[in-house]
Amino acid sequence: MPVTWSADNKKVVFNCSTTKDLYVYGATITYKDDDAGKLSLNEVSDPTITLNSTTTTEKLSFTINQTAKTQASTSLETYYTTDGSNPNDTENKSRVKLTQNPQTVTIDWVKGNTVTVRTFTKRVDDSDAKNYRESAMATQEFSNTGSTELASVDAPEITPGGEAVVASSLDVKISDKQWTSTLADKLKVYYAIEEGSNYGNVTTSTWTEATGLPLTLTLNKTSTVKAYAEYTASDGQKTKSATVSCTYFLLNDITTYLNTTTSQNVGTTVGKNGMTMTFGGIKVGSTNFKALSKNDNTDANTLGSIHTVSGKALYGTADVESELGDGSIGKNDKEEYFHCRALSQLHENTFALPAKGSFFKFEPEANGKLTVFVEQQGAIHNVSGKLYPEKVRKRPVYFLDETGKSIPANYAYTSSKVNKDDWTKIQNTDNTSNDSFYTKDYMDKLEKYYQNIIDGKNDKFTNFNSAVAEADKHKALTLGTSIQPIIVLHEECNAEILNGDGMSETGDTNYDHTGYMLISEGYVTYEFPVQAGKTYYLFASRTKLALSGFCFDKDADYKTENLQKVTLVGDKDNATTIEGLTVGKQYNVTLNRSFGAKKWYSVVLPFSVSQKQMKDVFGKDVKVLHYSDVTGTDLNLFEHFYQMIVGGTPVLVKPSQEVTNPVFYNVTLTSQKVVDIENTGFKCTGSWDNVDFPEYSYFIDAKTNSFYLYDPDKVKTGTQAPHAGAFRSWIISTSTNPSEAKQLTMHINGIEEQGETTAIWNAISGNDDAEVASKGIYSLSGQKMNAADTSSLPKGIYIVNGKKFIVK
């Protein structure tokens, strides 16, 4: 009998027979744990570094305190250095292991010396040295003043440490262990506040003296607080401490959504403040979204963990592909390279949008700013905690709209660093020639590109990270210490790495200033502009992106009731009205046209309609068909996974409910012209105006739900030509001689929907549900039969009052 384990492997479901009876006789269920027998290690807190009062101008004295709690069957090891080097490098001859706890360290120094102490703690399984867990790196800098009154200047403290909170205000305290009222004339602490850091509009205050310590600051906006101490000796010599900095994200509960669960099913939707977000799209096998866990071996802050906010970062367990993807991510897989492919499609851009894997879809009901909190992979290739130093990656984050356009970010922020140990191993390892993504030559080129940025030898690329001062954005990085850049990929200065990656034959020359990359994985905050009624897709190319939450702030002046109201009429000309509107502007649009339930209607609109609004207007089971191509005599129409309308794109729509004069609220005008969808010698097109169907065009009659070819050679004297109306679409040959149009069989999703198109005209009024004007009985070839009814006709298919009629 089959059994199914739950996602957390804590429950099992017995798949019983149709009788629903379950009999268990001495059954044994074996629970398999991939880490069976492996000791689970407790968290390791950071060690502390404290300056001792015995410090003089000749001797620096400080104490390292190992703060981690003990755990049975494990040992704690703490290492430190005093030259600023990495104590977590086993080959570092300068590192020293603590022999007692706490341990006092004394070293010689002279006036003007600056000593940087670094230390970390490691918890090791006594029975398995490979099973370990590490703390973050603690760092402290001491400067020798040469004064007997205050031999060393220590940096002030800012508490709490950087964090993100859902709150309207936050109190932050600046203190200094060395400061006293008697030293106030010589030892001064200065601070500055950068306000509004997560929205790009940063206001920096001037450096201000803290006249009394501790000093409490009340923050009302997202801010970065900075502080340093400065000592002035009797001879006027000034000595500054290191500058400390903490960033605080203040998030509004009304506008902020945070993940609180450890998993979500593919297709789950959540909403906040007029923004609807969907986790992924098409479910692939057993894939779902689950919580991201840090590397089991470290509690380090190299990821910039402030940006987890207080939500759980969830990611899809499959890489991103379009709906045509086959699940195989690798060389020359066009279904995963969305940046070029979405805009270079022969026909439907919708085919190229992300539909499978780890991505997030957003549908705003208003204009505004969308801020997302993500965990992003970098060039360093880590899989389940295992480093592959022989491989280097390019993993940009994109934000596409429903037309396939990549939207530039307003702002980006990360406090993450380049992992020193990992990058050092990459430097010391040759790239493999047996990679499923890239050639060795391309990875060599990519690694050199990143190395030049690390070494400060590339001053052309754009560093989009707002956490880095403008003057420092192209400086060399100290691995493990310096905040890493956010690299903007699609720029001409990066042409070399945009060519030869195996995903584009001629290279990507779409320099639209988008695509955001890291060298090491890290938590990043991005802000993107969004418009009402449109649809957006957030994802990372060739990897998985995790998201812990988002904020949606509507534009202050945006109110639905203030939007211009526009009426489009289904039986009148509308081109002039549409020309008078503004692309990119939002409207409340009424379409004067009637739609019946479960019938196909040709539609083309100048604005995009999101999948959510399509369901709101036309019913939850609405269907949308897109023209694909003509193969032989087969006309292929496909129902995309995304049931939405892209502005200017002609489609067929089947409502699941009757709709009269539908209203589309908060929609963005995206196209003032109908976009012809051309492929294989035919095109799907349409008109804003009240027109007849063109000669030799193929069209749908909603009344009969049938597919027709308008052949003027079949028109009888005095018969009305087929009328389309406004905002209708049709398919027609792009040949210079359309009269050669052939009988086509319509296929929907590869399945034959009807027999050959009837080569006959069909007079359709502007109202799709009006009675068909044709009278009499006709054969499929268009010949009028000499009969008042069907009783005398031989077996066959006939057109009676515009409907197919079968005589048996």
What would the pLDDT profile of 47-59 be if each residue is shown by its tens digit?
Answer: 999 999 999 999 9
pLDDT at 329: 62
**Domains in the chain, please, with CATH?**
42-143 (2.60.40), 145-251 (2.60.40), 256-554 (no CATH), 562-770 (no CATH), 775-808 (no CATH)
Cα dist from 216 to 176, 222, 251, 347, whole Å: 13, 16, 20, 60
Residue ranges, the chain, pLDDT below 50: 1, 3, 5, 7-10, 16-35, 198-200, 295-301, 305, 307-308, 342-347, 752, 755-767, 769-775, 788-791, 808
Q: How far apart are CA 785 and CA 806, in angstroms?
A: 14
Angstrom distances, CA of residue 219 to CA of 156, 167, 171: 19, 10, 6
**pLDDT, position 771:** 32
For the chain, the 3-state helix, strand and coil shares in percent, each to the nearest 5, are: 10, 40, 55
State residue 764's pLDDT score: 32
CA distance 724 to 695: 12
pLDDT recorded at residue 23 = 44
| DSSP label of 30 | P
What are the angstrom distances between the C-alpha of 26 and each of 23, 29, 75, 145? 10, 10, 42, 78
How far apart CA 725 and CA 686 sit, in angstroms, is: 10
Q: What angle do CA 517, 520, 522 make, to 5 degrees?
A: 80
What six digits make up the tokens of 700? 């749908």
- Give the start-end residues of each E strand in 690-759: 691-692, 697-701, 706-709, 723-725, 728-733, 745-748, 751-756, 758-759
The residue type found at 437 is F
Would you call 471 exposed, middle or buried from its count of C-beta atoms within 10 A (0-12, 13-18, 19+)? Answer: exposed
| Size of the chain, expressed as the number of residues it contains | 808
- pTM here is 0.73
CA–CA gap between residue 467 and residue 208 (Å, rounded): 21
C-alpha span between 431 and 392 (Å, rounded): 8
Q: What is the reported pLDDT for 295?
A: 44
714 contacts 759 by C-beta, under 8 angstroms: yes
pLDDT for the residue numbered 9: 44
User: Per the structure block, which two tokens stand in for 359?
Assistant: 């991505």
Query: Quick one: tokens of 689?
Result: 């105006």
* H or E element at residue 446: helix 440-454
- CA 182 – CA 88 distance, rounded (Å): 40
